[in-house]
């Protein structure tokens, strides 16, 4: 395995190890999950540590598979350091957005790598808009941007229905983070992939509009 792939392996391994620690140790899970009251008391570590905890195995698997599909594209077209910048930057933006939306809900809590993964998905699609995915349960290739937009639509459903202890707000917060950070790192995309930049902005704008109108 090459050096670049190792970065993906380390991130996935960290998510798996920390998540499984949280599955069996509630005090550990409670100490490091995203919790508005805790963050507002000064426990800022939760803004990052919550991104390595998951509600259950299905939640962990969904996020890690999504990361697996897109991570190497970002690493190959940027650099390992820039990949980590997109990953952790998106995670932080997702947490900040969740804090903004729920700042008065002191008992609000959430976990998951969704913000970071959304950022990597959006980064990969911006960098390689023509890429397709082959899912084992669908016999035809799926355009990557369809998957990315679908991922955000799933976040709307999750937010409306408060599914699990999952940071659905962080999904599109992370997407915004990945979108903006990638454009800052690769301004040449405005010349080569302007159409995809506009297309990917649409669901972000819609999500924020729905939130502002109180629809989610």
Instruction: Check residue 137 and give its pLDDT.
Output: 63
CATH code of 55's domain: 1.20.1540.10
Q: Which residue has the higher pLDDT, 87 or 146?
A: 87
Half-sphere exposure for 113 (CA within 13 Å, toward CB): 29
> Domain residues for 164?
3-212
Q: With bands split at pLDDT 50, 70 and 90, how would you rate the model's confidence at 200?
A: confident
Kindly state the average pLDDT of the residues 194-216.
79
Q: Report how many domains make up the chain.
A: 1
Q: What tokens were used for 185? A: 């790192």
Q: Which residue has the higher pLDDT, 137 or 205?
A: 205
Calpha distance 86→166 (Å, rounded): 21
Instruction: Check residue 199 and give its pLDDT.
Output: 83
Q: Report DSSP state, residue 166.
A: B
pLDDT one-digit tens code per residue, 175-194: 899 999 999 999 999 999 89
Q: Which residue has the higher pLDDT, 150 or 23?
A: 23
pLDDT one-digit tens code per residue, 20-53: 999 999 999 999 999 999 999 999 999 999 999 9
Phi, psi of 142 (to 5 degrees): -110, 125
Calpha distance 114→173 (Å, rounded): 9
pLDDT one-digit tens code per residue, 110-122: 899 989 998 998 9
Instruction: Check residue 44 and give its pLDDT.
Output: 95
Beta carbons within 10 angstroms of residue 205's beta carbon: 9
Q: Residue 92: is its pLDDT beyond 60?
A: yes
Q: Please, which residues have CB within 8 angstroms of residue 11's CB and are 6 or more apart in sequence?
A: 67, 71, 87
Phi, psi of 133 (to 5 degrees): -115, 145
Instruction: Transcribe 2-37 into DSSP letters.
Output: -HHHHHHHHHHHHHHHHHHHHHH-HHHHHHHSEEHH
Q: Residue 3: is its pLDDT beyond 50?
A: no
State which H helix or E strand residue 143 sits in.
strand 142-143
Instruction: Check residue 183 and give its pLDDT.
Output: 96
- Block residue for tokens 């009251």: 37
């Amino acid at each position: 395995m090459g050096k670049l792939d190792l970065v993906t392996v380390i991130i996935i391994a960290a998510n798996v190890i920390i998540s499984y620690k949280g599955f069996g140790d509630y005090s550990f899970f409670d100490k490091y999950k995203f919790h508005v009251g805790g963050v507002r008391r000064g426990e800022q570590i939760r803004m990052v540590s919550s991104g390595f905890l998951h509600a259950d195995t299905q939640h962990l698997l969904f996020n890690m598979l999504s990361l697996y599909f897109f991570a190497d594209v970002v690493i190959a077209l940027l650099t390992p350091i820039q990949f980590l910048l997109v990953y952790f930057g998106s995670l932080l933006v997702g947490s900040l957005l969740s804090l903004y939306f729920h700042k008065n809900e002191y008992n609000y809590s959430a976990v998951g790598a969704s913000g970071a993964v959304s950022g990597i998905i959006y980064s990969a699609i911006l960098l390689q808009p023509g890429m397709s995915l082959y899912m084992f349960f669908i016999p035809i290739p799926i355009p990557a941007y369809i998957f990315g937009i679908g991922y955000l639509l799933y976040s709307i459903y999750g937010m409306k229905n408060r599914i699990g202890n999952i940071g659905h707000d962080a999904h599109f917060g992370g997407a915004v983070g990945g979108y903006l950070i990638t454009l800052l790192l690769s301004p040449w995309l405005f010349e080569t992939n302007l159409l995809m930049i506009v297309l990917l902005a649409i669901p972000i704008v819609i999500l924020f509009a729905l939130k502002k109108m109180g629809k989610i």
